[in-house]
Amino acid sequence: MKLKDEDIKEIARLIDEGWSYIKLACKFNMVKTNMNSLVRRYKMHGLEGILHTHSKSFTIEEKIAIINRYYSGESKSSLAIEINGNFSLIHDWIKKYEQMGYNGLIDNRGKPGVSKMGRPKKNKEQPSTTEAMAPVNDAEREELNRLRKENYQLKMENACLKKIQALVQQRQNQQTK
């Protein structure tokens, strides 16, 4: 359910009066976790943090910094509240980064820009073709192969850990039944 600005202002007023997020969720017929997120965003960013505004675009450096903070142990929801975004935004960045790396975070929406001379603008985030096609020496090739092997081993280790975690979770769920 999408809230109207009047409802959001009413929620802010009730938060200031001390209402709990559970009570607010019941009053506005919302899921408790969504209301809790809204309350936390209000407490961190104020009324502007919860009113409907145009979405902010993030640079690749900002996205990578947030992804690194997630990998260092911060939760997606706390990061989303801090940047005044939502959980799925952080989740999508992480998924794209894991699947495609740095290039997965580049936003390719919209038409490519055209300068006054009618030529396409250069993309500042990607190296020029001469930089990308520069010859690789033997030391760089060996380092690249070593990093590829290490990356593969880490992916396999990560997959094993995820399977183990799923099995442990499954056993815990069976024990609680």
Mean pLDDT of 12-30: 89
The number of beta carbons lying within 10 Å of the beta carbon of residue 10 is 15
At 120, is the secondary structure helix, strand, or coil? strand
Per-residue pLDDT reduced to its tens digit, 62-105: 898 998 999 888 888 888 878 877 778 889 988 988 888 888 88
Mean pLDDT of 43-49: 79
**Does pTM top 0.95 for this prediction?**
no
Would you say 45 and 84 are in contact if contact means Cβ atoms under 8 Å apart? yes
Mean pLDDT of 139-163: 88
Distance, CA of 86 to CA of 55 (rounded, Å): 11
pLDDT above 60 (res 22): yes
Helices and strands in the chain, H and E counts: 9, 0
Between 32 and 87, residue with greater pLDDT: 32
